[in-house]
Every structure is written in C-alpha cells, then in structure tokens.
Amino acid sequence: MERKWDLVKDEACFVCGRKNPQGLHLKVERDGDKGAVAEFLAEETYKGWSRYLHGGVVSLIFDELLGWTSCYLGYTAVTARVEVRYRHPIPIGSRVTFKGRLQKEEKGLLFIRTEALLPDGTLAAEGMGKMMVIEKKGG
C-alpha cells in the first residue's frame, strides 16, 4: 500500500502534478492547522457556459482540497463524497481562492468544508466532502 508521503510526490496528478502537461498545476498549501488553500486563475481554457468557469472545474478543485487537507492532517484518505453548492458564477480571468478545512472526524471519516472565493470575497461556491481514512501517519 502506498503511504501518504508517496502520494504527495506523485507529479502526474491531473490537478496538482507539475509534470502532467495537460494538468492544472495547482499549488496547494497548508492553511493553519486544519486546512489547505490554493489560488487558481480561471483561464479561458476552463470556460463553461458564456464567460464563466465550468462548474466541473470547481468540483475538481474541491476534491483536490479534500485530499490535501487530509494529507496535511497526517492522513492517507480517499474521497467518499463531494457535494458542491454553486452560489455565484466565476468570471473567466478571476483569481479564485479555494479553501478546505476539517469540520469533524468520525468513524473513520473526515468531514471537510470547502469554499471558492472571488477576489472581492464573494462566496462563489461551497461544499462538504467526506474522506475515508486509509491510514493515519504513525498509526
């Protein structure tokens, strides 16, 4: 079984892998002691309807934040569920802040809240995800 630290080194990940030529190359960083944060430029390449970011890209990045939040907390975990509620369209050209934060841990599951914020602080999307714990670092 791969351990958490092996997964972090995977440079082929579609969302965060630096060596994936088709990937988003998202850089995710620790945010405090219970979260993760990433900045994403909504480029024309990721356009959905009209002049807005495709909603699937938001969901994809939320899923990535679930994984990184789990990782930063010392877990190897896989996605059990991703829920997204879209609040405001994200215009192409916007620099969006994506955040993930642990809400609770229960029965081998991590419950992580996610959000996407526009540059002016407007909540563009929010979600809740569940991660199934495979392994805890040191445990």
Confidence (pTM): 0.90
Sheet holding 75-86, edge to edge: 28-31, 35-41, 95-106, 109-117, 123-136, 75-86
Is residue 112 within 8 Å of residue 100, measured between CB atoms? yes
pLDDT tens readout for residues 67-87: 999 999 999 999 999 999 999
Euclidean distance between CA atoms 95 and 53, whole angstroms: 11
Is residue 31 within 8 Å of residue 101, measured between CB atoms? yes
pLDDT tens over the chain, length 139 residues: 444 445 556 788 888 888 989 988 899 999 999 999 999 999 999 999 899 999 999 999 999 999 999 999 999 999 999 999 999 999 999 999 999 999 999 999 999 999 999 999 999 999 999 999 999 986 5
- Nearest partner of 111 among 99, 134, 127, judged by Cα: 127
Domains of the chain: 4-136 (3.10.129.10)
Q: What is the pLDDT of residue 138?
A: 66
Is residue 11 within 8 Å of residue 17, measured between CB atoms? yes
- Go through 62-86 and write b for each residue having 16 or more CB atoms within 10 A of its CB, e for each that does not: bbbbbbbbbbbbebbbebeebebee
Query: Cβ contacts of residue 55 below 8 Å, gap of 6+?
Result: 48, 84, 86, 125
